[in-house]
Structure 1
Amino acid sequence: MHIGEMLARNARKFPNDVALVERTPAEGKRTEVTWKQFDDMADQFSNVLAAKGVRKGDKVVHFMMNSIEWLVAYFGVVRTGAWVVPLNFRFTADDVKYCADVAEPTVIVYDEEFAPRIEAIRDKLPNVKTYICFGEKIPAYAESFTKLLEGAPATPLNIPITFDDPCGLYFTSGTTGQPKPILLTHKNMVCACITENAHHWQGKRDVFILIPPLYHTGAKMHWFGSFIVGGKAVILKGVSPEWTLEAVSEEGGTIVWLLVPWAQDILLKLDSGELKISDYKLDQWRLMHIGAQPVPPALIKHWKKYFPAMQYDTNFGLSESTGPGCVHLGIGNEHKIGAIGRPGFNWEARIVDENGNDVKRGDPGELIVRGDGVMREYYKNPEATAKALINGWLYTGDMARLDEDGFIWLVDRKKDVIITGGENVFPVEVEDFLHTNPNIKDAAAIGLSDERLGEIVAVIIDVAPGKSLSEEEVLKFCEALPKYKRPRKVFFGEVPRNPTGKIEKPKLRQKYSGMAEAFKL
């Protein structure tokens, strides 16, 4: 049963139960649809696409903000047998053009706010025959998503789809250059549903608060664990500590997946007294989990002070592994906070050296994983595919080590390792240490060129609101680190993160290497 069939099954079993809620706190809006309505709208959109000539194997670019319609469009595309191509809503017109050149879509579905970006490249997209726009102001060359749905039948297309058929073309978040196109199959999607449900014990009564962007595998694949059992999801449009707690309280939220900065913001407001737990109904909130980036242990220890009975899990995954779950900490393993965990349900993991041989337990090496969620390929990029997929194993590019209990600890990205005076420094270790300082909101460590040592460790510090910190104080604090890991230079400023929470190290290196040159470091 593929995900399009799962939706139909939910509609048959729970036709009048609420499937999706959309909350827009900034506008005071709330919308909900039942499983039957969700299923019907997906069928309507698949019929719209079929009428426009979309056939199995075609590609449909999907360029929308989180909404009920986002998911309607997604499942509508899937049911035609076409490949859905979800794009990062922060992509520029040039980014969209690059992705379209690779995917060669025949249809683009997009929100009205992205119309200027589409208009800027429309004459350079020869394969696109149909533009479908969601919103009130529809360009003359496009058709209205809403009006097309109103006139379409809600009858299933019943396109034969196998697990081996391609389902989606996902582009990486692009923190290290142009995003790579990842081809995922229907089998990959089903793997995500099963793995996530096995990890977090989602049941029909669970309510999943969905905040991260849907175009990314992380948010959607976590929700898949609730989707497979017909649990309600709440799409929260906009991020703030108040809106998150209101959604949990008013919708009966039981599961929330957060990014590190969002969890930090909640804690900062609880610490300051701007938010009070007693003002919200939170007793039913059973699980908070985090992924997509290294998680500072100090953050979770801080969180557990406010929510001591709440379950916690760390999730590790990549778009290439169909999102989260190939490795996870596991509920009940709070004593190992800081580790990313053990291989996920029906997954295998190894840590290897440059030759693909297992390293000695405790030594750092590259993490590789194998399971049903591993992508088919980097689309149209056989060289990159050959480097990433070897004998069925996905080489993640992440450096890790295995402890005595079989838990995997993420050391850092292979390309981010700082080599100073012949010693390897893993930035995440420095960052985790800095996060134990209550005056620091966020921190990043990078390597800067040095004539004598090759590289030195530099840190960028985002000071917590209402706090102060000097370079001398940071350097003094870091004296607890081994000498070769201590930063030689401290910069103060914002730590840029992409929409999935990962630190954008190339931006930092570009910005601060120039400043270092000016200071003659």
Structure 2
Amino acid sequence: MPITELLERNAIQYANDVALVEINPDIKEKRRVTWREYELIQPDLSQQYRREITWHVFNEKANRVANLLLSRGIRKGDKVAILMMNCLEWLPIYFGILKTGALAVPMNFRFDEHEIKYCLELSETDVLFFGPEFIGRIEEIVDEIDEKRILFYVGGDCPSFAENYDNLVSNCSSLSPDIKITDEDDAAIYFSSGTTGFPKAILHNHESLMHAAKVEQNHHGQTKDDVFLCIPPLYHTGAKMHWFGSLLTGGKAVLLKGVTPKTIFETVSKEHCTIVWLLVPWAQDILLALDRGELKIEDYDLKQWRLMHIGAQPVPQSLIKRWKEYFPHHQYDTNYGLSESIGPGCVHLGVDNIDKVGAIGVPGYGWQAKIVDTEGNEVNQGDVGELIVKGPGVMTCYYNDEKATAECLKDGWLYTGDMAEMDKDGFIYLVDRKKDVIISGGENIYPVQIENFLSKHPKIKDVAVIGLADERLGEISAAIIELNPDTECSEEEINEFCKELPRYKRPRKIIFAKVPRNATGKIEKPKLREIYHSKNLVDAQNRG
């Protein structure tokens, strides 16, 4: 069943129930907001800007988007891109695209104008919806992209080179278009994060999207009464696929724009959120704010908050241990996934396996997983190999890239590029990205293992380990360490702490600096290598 049918069902069964809420703490004025013909009441939420829509209105807005696109000649198989920050319009536009049979193409809001142009051309996009934050970037390339594409602007004060989405869509029918969609039909193109190279276009069908909804609900037990707090960007498979659990059950979701420990607690408290998906840096910031007394749990109504889960990157064991000290009643889960496997859930820890924190978990609902050597044979228990996964959420292909597809899709198995090992209980532990492995004096060093160890140091807020070129050893490991605020630490102190590691795993160089992460929380190691002039020999060998 295509995912669009869930929205149609919710619009009937839960017509007047709230589907989506948008909260923007950066907009302070209190006001009534009229969004086309639907007047939304702005309650006093510490003067935060707040909008909401019901399932009935959500579905009608998606239908209007679909009918607008159809009126402009968009047909099944065409591509329609979304370049917008999280907002109340985002998901109705996404579902409107799907209802036409066209492919939704969400785009990273950090792309510069050259990356935007590259991804529009790579995906063969026909229409672009973009928000006010991107006027300058689109203006830089409009002469190159405008001839072949329709540009819809979503926001106030429409630029002259685009068409006003709000004016156009208000005149379109709110009835569902009569377009037949099957599970096998192409549904969306997502772009890889670019942390290991330039973005690839990842093609998924409707079966992938629907399976993501089933996986999320199965893993976290969402009910109609759950309220999901969504903070990460909707262009990424992770945030949207976690929200699909709310779509499946008809529950409410809250889109929080702008993130601080205080705004997270305020939103959880006032919107009665029960499920919160965090990235590692946000969880760290919350713990630091609690440690310093800047946040006090008793000042907020958090008793209904039942689940905190983290995805998108390895999670330090020490972080979860500290979290459980503050929130002993919380369930915890971590999800592993790639855009190529429709985001989170192909491997997950499971809320009942808190004793296995540090592992990414076991195969998720409907998924299989193996750890294999370079020949594709399963390795012995405890040995390191490449993690491969198989299931209904595996991508169809890299769009228009047969070579890259053949390299990672073999007999239905997706080769993830992540190195892992499995313990005697069948739990999988992520060791590192295949391309991030440091080869030092013939020894393979896995940076994630060192990062996990260093993250236990009480003065360290964040850490990344990369390889630096070395004439004698080929590469040496360097630890870029971001300290907690108002904390001092010496290189000697770190070296002393690392004596618990085997000698070959100890960082040879310590650098105190900020650790850059992308919008989905992943460490930007290519940027670090560029900053510190390192040369990754594994990458060089792969290119050769």
Range of TM-score over shorter length: over 0.9
Match of 2:177 among 127, 146, 157: 157
- Structure 2 counterpart of 1:5: 5
Q: Distance in 2 between matches of 1:119 and 1:169?
A: 24
Alpha-carbon contact 2:469-2:534 (below 8 Å) kept: no
CA distance in structure 2 between the aligned counterparts of 1:192 and 1:36, rounded to whole angstroms: 23
Deviation at 1:126, TM superposition (A): 5.8
Residue 113 (structure 1) shift: 2.0
**CA distance in structure 1 between the aligned counterparts of 2:199 and 2:368, rounded to whole angstroms:** 26
- Give the one of 291, 294, 306 matched to 1:271: 291
Gap regions ≥5 residues in structure 2 = 28-47, 536-544
**Secondary structure at the counterpart of residue 68 of structure 1:** coil
CA apart distance, 1:120: 1.2
* Alignment map for 1:327-342 (pairs within 5 Å): 327-342=347-362
Q: Which runs of 4+ in 1 moved over 4 A?
A: none
Is the aligned partner of 1:62 residue 2:82?
A: yes
Aligned: 1:407 with 2:408: no
Deviation at 1:127, TM superposition (A): 5.8
Q: Which residue of 2 aligns with 1:214?
A: 234
Higher alpha-carbon deviation: 245-254 or 146-155: 146-155
| 1:226-248 deviation line (CA, Å, top 9, x unaligned) | 21110100000111111111111
1:518 match: none
3-state SS in 1 of match to 2:482: strand
Among residues 445, 449, 453, which one is paired with 1:425 in the alignment? 445
| 1:141 Cα deviation after fit | 2.6
- How far off is 1:149 after superposition? 2.1
Q: Tell me how far apart the structure 1 counterparts of residues 10 and 219 of structure 2 sit (CA, whole Å).
A: 21
CA distance in 2, matches of 1:141, 1:489: 51
Match of 1:381 among 398, 401, 408: 401
Give matches, 1:282-431, under 5 Å. 282-431=302-451
- Indicate which of 95, 104, 115 corresponds to 1:75: 95
Shift of 1:103: 1.6
Task: Give the partner amino acid of 1:109.
Answer: F
CA distance in 1, matches of 2:176, 2:243: 24
2:21 aligned partner: 21
2:148 is equivalent to residue 148 of structure 1: no
Cα deviation per residue 1:42-98 (whole Å; 9 max; x = unaligned)?
Answer: 001111111111111111111111011011110110100001111001100000100
Scaled by the length of structure 2, the TM-score of the pair is 0.94
Are the equivalent residues in 1 in contact too, given 2:467–2:534 (CA < 8 A)? Answer: no
Q: How many residues align?
A: 515
SS at match of 1:48: helix
* TM-superposed deviation, 1:454: 1.5
Equivalent-residue separation in structure 2 for 1:463 and 1:395 (angstroms): 35
Partners of 1:514 and 1:312 in 2: CA distance: 37
The aligned amino acid for 1:170 is Y
Q: Pick closer, same or farther for the CA change 1:4–1:514 going to 2, 3 Å.
A: closer
Identity of aligned residues (%): 58
Is 2:265 aligned against 1:228?
no
User: CA 1:313–1:49 in structure 2 vs 1: closer, same or farther (change >3 Å)?
Assistant: same
**Paired residue for 1:257?**
277
3-state DSSP of counterpart to 1:202: coil
Which one-letter code corresponds to 2:256 in the other structure? L
Distance 1:298 1:258 in 2: 16
One-letter amino acid matched to 1:467: T
TM, length-normalised to structure 1: 0.98
Contact 2:189 2:204 in 1 (8 A): yes
Q: Decide which moves more: 18-27 or 140-149.
A: 140-149
Return the alpha-carbon distance in structure 2 between the equivalents of residues 20 and 367 of structure 1.
Answer: 36
Q: Which amino acid aligns with 2:12?
A: R
Query: How far does residue 514 in structure 1 lie from its aligned partner after superposition?
Result: 6.5
Return the alpha-carbon distance in structure 2 between the equivalents of residues 44 and 131 of structure 1: 17
Give unpaired runs (5+ residues) of structure 1: 516-521
Residues of 2 paired with 1:360 and 1:175: CA distance?
A: 30
Q: Secondary structure of 1:118's match? A: helix
The 8 Å contact of residues 334 and 349 in structure 2, kept in 1 or not, is answered as yes
Change (3 A) 1:232 1:383: same
Q: Which residue of 2 aligns with 1:519?
A: none
Q: What is the match of residue 116 of structure 1?
A: 136
Match for 1:23: what amino acid? I
Could you tell me whether the CA contact under 8 Å between 1:462 and 1:495 is conserved in 2?
A: yes
Rounded Cα–Cα distance in structure 2 between residues aligned with 1:196 and 1:127: 41
CA shift, 1:129, in A, is: 3.5
1:53 alignment partner, one of 73, 93, 104: 73
Q: Which is worse superposed, 171-180 or 280-289?
A: 171-180
What SS class does the counterpart of residue 128 from structure 1 fall into?
coil
* Superposed CA offset, 1:116-167 (max 9, x none): 2112112212663421101111012322121122111101112111101111
Instruction: List aligned pairs for 1:38-49, cutoff 5 A.
Output: 38-49=58-69
Q: Does the CA contact (< 8 Å) of 1:59 and 1:84 recur in 2?
A: yes
How far apart in 2 are the matches of 1:514 and 1:368? 29
Looking at structure 1, the residues matched to 133 and 355 of structure 2 have their Cα atoms a distance apart, in angstroms, of 46
The 8 Å contact of residues 105 and 127 in structure 1, kept in 2 or not, is answered as: no
- 1:143, 1:472 → 2: CA distance? 60
Moved more, 71-80 or 415-424: 415-424
Aligned partner of 1:49: which letter?
Answer: L
What is the alpha-carbon distance in structure 1 between the residues aligned to residue 289 and residue 13 of structure 2?
Answer: 41
Instruction: Determine if contact 1:401/1:410 at 8 Å carries over to the other structure.
Output: yes
